[in-house]
Structure 1
Amino acid sequence: MTTYNLALIGFGGVNRTLAELIQSRGSQLQADLGFGLRVTAITDLRLGSLVDAGGIDLAAVLALGPGATFEQFGGSAETDNEAVIRNCPADIVVEATFTNPDDGEPAVSHVRWAIEAGKSVCTTNKGPVALRGRELAALAAEHGVAFEFEGSVMSGTPVIRLAKQMFGGLRLGGFEGIMNGTSNYVLGRMESGLSLQEAVREAQDLGYAEANPSADIDGYDVQLKVLILANELLGASLELSDISREGISSVTVQDVRQASLEGKRWKLVGSAQRNPDGSVTAGVAPQALPLEHGLAGVSGATNAVAFSTDLLGQVTVSGPGAGRIETAYALLSDIIAIHARNSSSAQAGAPAVAPAPIEAARA
C-alpha cells in the first residue's frame, strides 16, 4: 500500500477541513481507499510556512490559537509559496487560496509551479480552470502529472467528473443551471418580501455573502463556472468575454411578486447551448422560470445543472454548491481520481505520480 504526500497551499476553511479529515479519519480513509495521506507542507498568509518530510503533526497545527505562527514548530512566519511548492517533498499540491476573477492569480501561478516541479495538483479555485484551464492541462500532460478541479463548479457535487465519466456515448446539446447559492438565497428571501438590499444584508449576517457581494450578486461567479463547464464538457474554446453576464441587481420585489402571480420564480441561470454550426453560445442572466421547470424548486445553497442529451433527454445533477466540508470532499475526490490515474498508468507501464512508500510514514 502507498501513501501520498500532500502540500496544502492556503489553510483557510477548506484545506483546514481536509486536514481535519485526514487527522481524524486517516486510518479509515486508508482502509476504504487503499492508500494513505500525509501532509508534508502547509503555507498560509496568517500562519506562515511549515515543511516536514516525515509528516506534519496535524493535531498540533489544528490546535494553534489566534496570533500563533508555524515558527513554534520550526517553520517560518513568512510565506514563500513558490519555494515551498517547487521544493517541498509532496506528490500532490492541494491549492485552496482565493480567486481573482480578472487573472486567476495567485492560484494560476501556484498550479503552474507545482506542475513544472512534477507534482500533481487539485484545486477548488475557479480562476485557474476558467482562465487558464487549457494551458495548464496541456502543461500537466507535458509533465506527466494530473490537474484536477472538481470543486471549482459545484463544490462537493461531482458535476464535471460525473458528466465526463458517465455520459459516454451521449451528445450534449447544452446545459442550464443554478450555480450560486448566495444569489439563490437572496432571490428566495425576496419572495418573502425583503428588498434586494435587505436580503443581501441577511445573507452577509449568516455568512453566505462576502462583505463585497458583487461576485455573487452581479453574476461573476456563475460566469466563471459557465466558462468551465462549456469548455470542459461541450468542447468549446470560449474566453470569459464570450460569456454574456447579467446579475440579479435589476430584479425588484415587484418583479418577484408579479412572477409569483404568474406561477413563476426568479432564478439566476447560467447556461450554454451548442449551435447547429457547432459553436457554443453561453451566458448568465436572471430568468423567471415556470414552477414546473426543473430548476425552479432549487433553493438555498443547493446547486443544480440540467444537461440536454440526445438519448436521455434532460439529465439533472443536484447537490450542495458550497460549504467547507463539501468542498474539502471535492479535494478528496480529486486525490482519489489522481490515485486511480496512477494505478491505471502503472498497470499500463506508463510513468505516474510516484507516491512515497507507506513504510516511510512517521508512526
Structure 2
Amino acid sequence: MTRYDLALIGFGGVNRALAELIVERGHDLTAELGFGLRVVAITDLRAGTLVRLDGIDLAPLLAAAELNFSGMAGGSPEPRNEWVIRDVPADIIAEATFTNPADGEPAVSHVRWALESGKHVCTTNKGPAALHGRALRELATRNGVRFEFEGAVMSGTPVLRTARRMFGGLTVSRVEGVMNGTSNYILGRLEKGMDLAAAVAEAQALGYAEADPTADVEGYDVQLKLMILANEVFGASLTRADIRCVGISGITGQDVRDAAGKGLRWKLVGSAARRPDGTVEAWVAPVALPDGHPLAGVSGLMNAVAFHTDLLGTVAVSGPGAGRTETAYALLSDIISIHERCGAKAAAMEGASRV
C-alpha cells in the first residue's frame, strides 16, 4: 500500500481540518483511494514546529485548547518553515499559511522551496498560482513533481480540475464567475435593505469578511482568482495589471433594490474572453444580471463559474467558495491528483520492473 508522508505548513483552520479528515476518515480514505496519509511535520506561527518521522499522533493536537510544540518530543518553539520544507523527508507539502496578496509571500517561497527540494506541493493560497504560476509549474516539471492549487479559486469546488479534465475537444470562448462569497453576501444584504457599511460590518461579525475588507469589497480577491482561472483555461500569462478591476464600494442599496424590481441581480463578476486575435482580455466589475443568467441565482457565500463553449453552450460549475472543511477537501483532492499522476505511475513502473 502506498503511503504519503505530509508536512503541514500552517496549522490554522484549513490544515487543521485536513488533519481532522485524516484522523476521522483515514481508514476509509485508504480503502477507497488506495493510499495512506501520515503527517510527519507541522509548523505554525504560534505553536512552533513539530517533527516526528514515525508519524505525529494528531488526535491529541486536535483536542488541545492551545498548542505549544516546544514542550513535545520533536518540538521547538520557532516555526521553522524553510528547514521543514527543504530538509524533513516528506513526500508532499500542504501549504496553508496567511499570505500577502500583493506579492504572494510567504506562500510563494514555501512552494518554491518544496519544488526545489523535489517534493510535491499543494496550496490553498492564491498568490503562488496567480502571481508566479508559470514559473512554479516549470520548476515543478524540471524536478519531476507536482504543483497543485485547486483550492485557490473556489475552495473545495473543483472548477480548475473540471476545466482541465472535462472540456477536452471543446473550445472555451469566455469564462465568467461569482468567485467571492463575501461580496456576494454583502450584495444580498443590500437587496434586503441594508446599507453598505452595515452589510460589511455584519459580514465581519459573522467571520465572512476580514477586519480590512478591501480585498473583498474592491474586487482584488476576484482579480487574483480570475488570473488563475484565465491562465489555466486559456493558457494566458495575465498579470494583475492586465485585469481591469472595479469593486462593489460604489454600489448603493438603492441601486440593488431598483435592479431587483426590474428582475436584475447585482453580482461582482470576474470575466475573461479570448479575442479574435487569440489574446485574452479580463476584467472584474459589478454587473446587474437578468434572472435567466446562470450566475444570477448564486446567493450568499456560494460561488459559481460559467464556461461558454462551442459545442455545449454554457456549462456552469457551482459550489461553496469558502469554509475550512471545504478548503481542506481541496488539499485532499490535490493529493489524490498527485497520486493519480505520479504515485500510481511509479507503482506500476516498479511492478513492471519486477516482472
Give the aligned length: 349
CA distance in 2, matches of 1:100, 1:122: 18
Matched position secondary structure for 2:102: coil
Instruction: Using the TM superposition, give the Cα deviation of residue 345 of structure 1 relative to its aligned residue in structure 2, in angstroms.
Output: 3.2
> Which residue is 1:353 aligned to?
none
CA distance in 2, matches of 1:195, 1:14: 32
Instruction: Using the TM superposition, give the Cα deviation of residue 297 of structure 1 relative to its aligned residue in structure 2, in angstroms.
Output: 0.6
Once the two structures are superposed, residues 308-336 of structure 1 have per-residue CA deviations (whole angstroms, 9 ceiling, x without a partner) of 10110100001110000100000000000
TM-score normalised according to structure 1 size: 0.94
Instruction: Using the TM superposition, give the Cα deviation of residue 348 of structure 1 relative to its aligned residue in structure 2, in angstroms.
Output: 7.0
Asked if 1:294 is matched to 2:294, the reply is yes
CA distance in 2, matches of 1:312, 1:78: 53
Instruction: Using the TM superposition, give the Cα deviation of residue 298 of structure 1 relative to its aligned residue in structure 2, in angstroms.
Output: 0.4
Deviates more, 1:178-187 or 1:339-348: 339-348
CA distance in 2, matches of 1:152, 1:186: 21
> Which residue is 1:72 aligned to?
71
CA distance in 2, matches of 1:48, 1:346: 34
Instruction: Using the TM superposition, give the Cα deviation of residue 344 of structure 1 relative to its aligned residue in structure 2, in angstroms.
Output: 5.0
> Which residue is 1:357 aligned to?
none
> Which residue is 1:135 aligned to?
135
The 5 A counterparts of 1:212-361 are 212-346=212-346, 349=349
Instruction: Using the TM superposition, give the Cα deviation of residue 8 of structure 1 relative to its aligned residue in structure 2, in angstroms.
Output: 0.2
The residue type equivalent to 1:163 in the other structure is A
The 5 A counterparts of 1:59-208 are 59-66=59-66, 68-74=67-73, 75-208=75-208
Matched position secondary structure for 1:102: coil
> Which residue is 2:55 aligned to?
55
Matched position secondary structure for 1:115: helix
CA distance in 2, matches of 1:261, 1:121: 48
- Residue pair 1:184, 1:300 contacting (<8 A) in 2 also: yes
CA distance in 1, matches of 2:80, 2:344: 34
Instruction: Using the TM superposition, give the Cα deviation of residue 347 of structure 1 relative to its aligned residue in structure 2, in angstroms.
Output: 6.4
CA distance in 2, matches of 1:158, 1:257: 33
> Which residue is 1:355 aligned to?
none
CA distance in 1, matches of 2:296, 2:24: 39
Once the two structures are superposed, residues 119-167 of structure 1 have per-residue CA deviations (whole angstroms, 9 ceiling, x without a partner) of 0000000000000000000000000001000000000000000110010
The residue type equivalent to 1:91 in the other structure is D
The percent of aligned pairs where both chains have the same amino acid is 68
CA distance in 2, matches of 1:172, 1:294: 16
Q: Which has the higher contact order (CA 8 A, sep 6+)?
A: 1
- Residue pair 1:174, 1:234 contacting (<8 A) in 2 also: no
- Residue pair 1:272, 1:280 contacting (<8 A) in 2 also: yes
4+ residue segments displaced more than 4 Å: 347-350
Matched position secondary structure for 2:76: coil
Supply the RMSD in Å over aligned alpha carbons: 1.1
The residue type equivalent to 1:72 in the other structure is G
- Residue pair 1:8, 1:15 contacting (<8 A) in 2 also: yes
> Which residue is 1:31 aligned to?
31
Deviates more, 1:295-304 or 1:70-79: 70-79
- Residue pair 1:158, 1:330 contacting (<8 A) in 2 also: yes
Matched position secondary structure for 2:65: coil
CA distance in 2, matches of 1:298, 1:235: 27
CA distance in 2, matches of 1:146, 1:209: 32
Instruction: Using the TM superposition, give the Cα deviation of residue 62 of structure 1 relative to its aligned residue in structure 2, in angstroms.
Output: 1.4
- Where in structure 2 are there 5+ consecutive unaligned residues? 351-355
Matched position secondary structure for 1:278: coil
The residue type equivalent to 2:72 in the other structure is F
Matched position secondary structure for 1:203: helix
Deviates more, 1:324-333 or 1:335-344: 335-344
Instruction: Using the TM superposition, give the Cα deviation of residue 204 of structure 1 relative to its aligned residue in structure 2, in angstroms.
Output: 0.8
Once the two structures are superposed, residues 99-132 of structure 1 have per-residue CA deviations (whole angstroms, 9 ceiling, x without a partner) of 2111100000000001111100000000000000
The residue type equivalent to 1:198 in the other structure is A
Once the two structures are superposed, residues 278-320 of structure 1 have per-residue CA deviations (whole angstroms, 9 ceiling, x without a partner) of 0000010001111111111100111000001011010000111
The residue type equivalent to 1:279 in the other structure is T
The residue type equivalent to 1:73 in the other structure is M
Matched position secondary structure for 1:173: strand
